[in-house]
């Protein structure tokens, strides 16, 4: 089972897995883009 599957199943997993690291970085980038966005004017 891949580490992502273990994580989703609530099992112990390796947090340093390259796939999970890529996913975390992508999530951080998306959060940063969202936080820098401005509200739309009505």
Under a CB-based contact definition with an 8 Å cutoff, are residues 3 and 19 in contact? yes
List, in order, residues 6 or more apart from 2 with CB less than 8 Å away.
Answer: 17, 19
Question: What are the backbone dihedrals phi and psi of residue 32, each rounded to the nearest 5 degrees, phi first?
Answer: -65, -45
pLDDT tens for each residue of 2-19: 999 999 999 999 999 999
Mean pLDDT taken over the chain: 94
Q: Is 10 left (phi over 0), alpha (psi -120 to 50) or beta?
A: left
Q: CB–CB of 14/3 below 8 Å?
A: yes
This prediction's pTM: 0.77
């Amino acid at each position: 089972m891949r580490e992502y599957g273990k994580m989703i199943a609530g099992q112990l997993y390796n947090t340093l897995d390259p796939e999970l690291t890529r996913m975390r970085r992508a999530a951080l980038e998306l959060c940063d883009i969202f936080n820098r966005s401005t509200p739309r004017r009505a």
